Structure 1
Amino acid sequence: MLRWAQSPVASGLPRPPSKIVTIPDGSTFQQVVGMLKSEQLIRSRWAFLLLGRSHDSDRKIRPGEYELDGSMSAQAILAKLLAGRVVLHPVTIPEGYNLSQIAEVFAAQQVTDVQEFSKLVRDRTFIATLGIEADSLEGYLFPETYSFPRQAKARDVIKAMVDGLHRVWSAELQEQATRMKLSLHQVLTLASVIEKETGSKEERELIAAVFHNRLRKKIPLQSDPTVIYGLPGFDGNIHKRDLSVMSPYNTYRVQGLPPGPIASPGAHSLRAALFPAQASYLYFVSRNDGTHQFSSTLAEHNQAVEKYQKQPFRKRTRGSLAVHGA
């Protein structure tokens, strides 16, 4: 009788469709058993309770979403619940997203408490536990596709993304950063600006060359994305008056790198920041097709601006140095 009670509710082929059972945090074992019975995944409440007692299961069931089906025995279902083998949901964080945009992705996917996430990424005490000295985790959450369960703890989500950065921050990159006398924070800052300046992977080393040359010659970076990041309320269009705003992120007024990253750079931009192209370029201007025209002199740059930006009906896209070259 007990063997029958703990056997699958459905046997033979074809395999029955799976069901998603969501176990809320704090559920008792008896409540879990009630859910399984109402979903017709177990034959007997008392038999599953008896099985659970033999494994001391009360309060050991981990909350979350479980994919179960009627072909599973009671033992298989219990083992899955005790192991916490919950359903994982893919979450893709695009390259170049900032903390606010990343929080929006998680809000849409409903995998974690977004308010707690937004608080922790700016909590210096928590950030220090990750071995990072920064005012926020801007730039430190590596953009890629992750798999998270529903109701994941915000701190676990954040740690997974910081671990993603550490995976790509290889010994080769660390050694190059040391040779260039750049900290990880500085590399992330420069890489984030490169990331926001171009959508063309083929250009990132050239963009990096422009910024390294400007840093070396003590010429302001003049990057629109940094200005935009520092604006309290950006309306989608950068105006000439914005370039005069006093902000540590206004790289038209402030020389050198901004105080921190403005987004999460991808692996290619990280590498470009450390291995820029060997070029003398100091300027670039958008060609309005997703690529840029690079120039070494102001005269060449002004010609490019005339060609690509001052013709009728031209509209600036990327390329901060398009009109305001030093």
Structure 2
Amino acid sequence: MNDRQDFENERQKKIQNFHIHIDDDEIDDDSVIHSYSDPAEAEKLHERINDRAQMAHQLRDAEKAKKNRSFFRMMWFCFVMIFSLLAGKYLVFGVNDMLAVGRDAVNVTIEVPKNATSSEVAQLLYKAGAINDMTFFKLYSKLTKAPSTYSGGSYQITTNMDYEALINSIQSPTKRVDTVKITFSEGLNALEIADKLEKNGVCSAEDALKAFNTTELDSDYDMLAEIPKNSDKYYRLEGYLFPDTYEFFKNDDPINVVKKMVSNCNRKLTKQIREKAASENLTIDQMLTLASLIQAEAATTEDMYDISAVFHNRLKSKDPALKHLGSDPTVFYPYRTKKQVPASLGENYQSKYDTYNVVGLPAGAICNPGSDAIDAALNPSESSYYYFCYDKKNKLYLAKTLSQHQANLKKAGIK
């Protein structure tokens, strides 16, 4: 009991004598905030702590960014390498296609629409097996300034042609296979020629008739430049569309068609013919107009010279009544008969070329004469006839006077 009391007394004495000893040096650390610290000092301490934390964060971000840059550099390098490999492979493939490397030689025909674009042509060539890469072909066309549109037609090509050869081929008339041969007989007029062109797929009749009035070729041919300006002309180039057999392209430009026919006429009207016309005081246009009347009237080549004499005699006559040539084929021109005259023109249609009303030659040719009619126009037979007519068997009757002519009309069964 006494021992226990002594232990308790000793413990209480130690508690009362307990002290904490802290050196002054140990409390100088800025990181310790005392209950009695200055608020301003405490704020500065917080700022220093934040700055250190922010600096540590920046260092971590910099390290992270460095790692990211390295990663993205690696990714970019891989991407560039892959792209380079693919681009190189595509370039090699494209160049091989451009040079037709490894393509078999097969003759094929492609139909190129009128005004076809490079894209449309690329599709056609791809389907025909002439190219393997439409995109590369279009790129090549753009870089080499190939035509943006093509005139169209049917072309024969070989599938082992390179790009340049293919482009040249579908522009060259010599490679076209969609040609058609048309024979225009002597005496056909503008309407009939236009209709024949349309039926053979060369161009529309409407476009052809527009081309027959063109002045676009005047600079190429003096004879066209000398055609007088006359508002009474129906078709300016009537008479110059020389009758012959021609080869045209289907869906051709009407101007090309006209140029081919006019060029032929220009060749056929030789220097001798032109000089002879001048000696007869006839212009080329007047000569062709007279020849067209002879062509339309005569049943045979032999008759042409006699009919030419009748027209020449009338043109030289001083009798006003004889100045009217009275040629029946002129009455309904540009139509052959009254039945062909469109209803929209009315029942009382009257041609501006009607030689029963017109004095002398009409404003232009009424058809396109051949060489025989032209020769007859310049070399009429020697006679004093002023009238002619035919019977149903195409027998020619000639007369010097009106009374004789009236008698011939009865013989021919016309009256």
TM-score by length of 2: 0.61
Q: How many residue pairs end up in the alignment? A: 295
Q: Deviations over 1:16-54 (max 9, x none)?
A: 7x53523431420x43232123234x3634698399669
Give the CA RMSD over aligned residues.
Answer: 3.5
In 2, distance between residues paired with 1:74 and 1:258? 56
Distance change in 2, residues 1:39/1:208 (3 Å): same
Match of residue 109, structure 2, among 8, 15, 19: 19
Q: Percent of aligned pairs with the same residue?
A: 29
Give the deviation of 1:133 after TM superposition. 3.2
CA distance in 2, matches of 1:53, 1:250: 57
SS of the equivalent of 2:332 reads: helix
For 1:160, which of 260, 284, 303 is the aligned residue? 260
Residue correspondence of structure 1 range 314-325 to structure 2 within 5 A: none
- Does 1:260 pair with 2:364? yes
Alignment of 1:267-278 (within 5 A): 267-278=371-382
1:80 aligned to 165, 169, 176, which one? 169
Letter in 1 for 2:260: A
- Quote the residue 2:104 is aligned against: 8
1:280–1:48 Cα change, 3 Å: farther
Q: Which contiguous aligned blocks of 4+ residues in structure 1 show a shift greater than 6 angstroms?
A: 230-233
Q: 3-state DSSP class of the match of 2:389?
A: strand
1:94 aligns with 2:185: yes
Query: Equivalent residues in 2 for 1:1-326 (5 A)?
Result: 2=96, 5=101, 7-10=103-106, 19-28=109-118, 30-40=119-129, 42=130, 44-45=132-133, 49=137, 56=144, 58-59=146-147, 62-68=150-156, 73-75=160-162, 77-85=166-174, 86-87=176-177, 88-122=179-213, 126=216, 129=219, 130-131=224-225, 132-135=227-230, 136-217=236-317, 218=319, 219=322, 220-229=324-333, 234-235=338-339, 248-310=352-414
C-alpha distance in 2 between matches for 1:35 and 1:245: 51
Contact 2:104 2:160 survives alignment (8 Å): yes
Contact 1:62 / 1:84 at 8 angstroms: preserved in 2? no
* Structure 1 portions without partners, runs of 5+: 11-15, 238-243, 311-322
Question: Rg: which structure is higher?
Answer: 2
Residue 152 to residue 126, structure 1, CA distance change in 2 (3 Å): same
Whichever residue aligns with residue 156 of structure 1, its letter is N
Cα distance in structure 1, aligned partners of 2:210 and 2:331? 24
Distance 1:233 1:299 in 2: 28
* TM superposition shift of 1:277: 1.7
> Offset at 1:5?
4.5
Task: Look up the equivalent residue of 1:226 and give its one-letter code.
Answer: T
Deviation at 1:191, TM superposition (A): 0.9
- Tell me the amino acid that sits aligned with residue 280 of structure 1: S
The two structures have a TM-score, normalised by structure 1, of: 0.75
Higher helix share: 2
Aligned partner of 1:115: which letter?
Answer: E
The 3-state SS of whatever aligns with 1:94 is: coil
Alpha-carbon distance in 1 for matches of 2:351, 2:364? 13
Aligned-pair CA distance for 1:187? 0.8
Structure 2 CA distance for aligned equivalents of residues 280 and 9 of structure 1: 72
Counterpart of 1:240 in structure 2 is: none
> Can you list the C-alpha shifts for 1:233-261, whole angstroms capped at 9, x where unaligned?
82269xxxxxx987652322333212221
Are the equivalent residues in 1 in contact too, given 2:112–2:121 (CA < 8 A)? no
The whole-number CA distance in structure 2 between the counterparts of 1:168 and 1:276 is 19
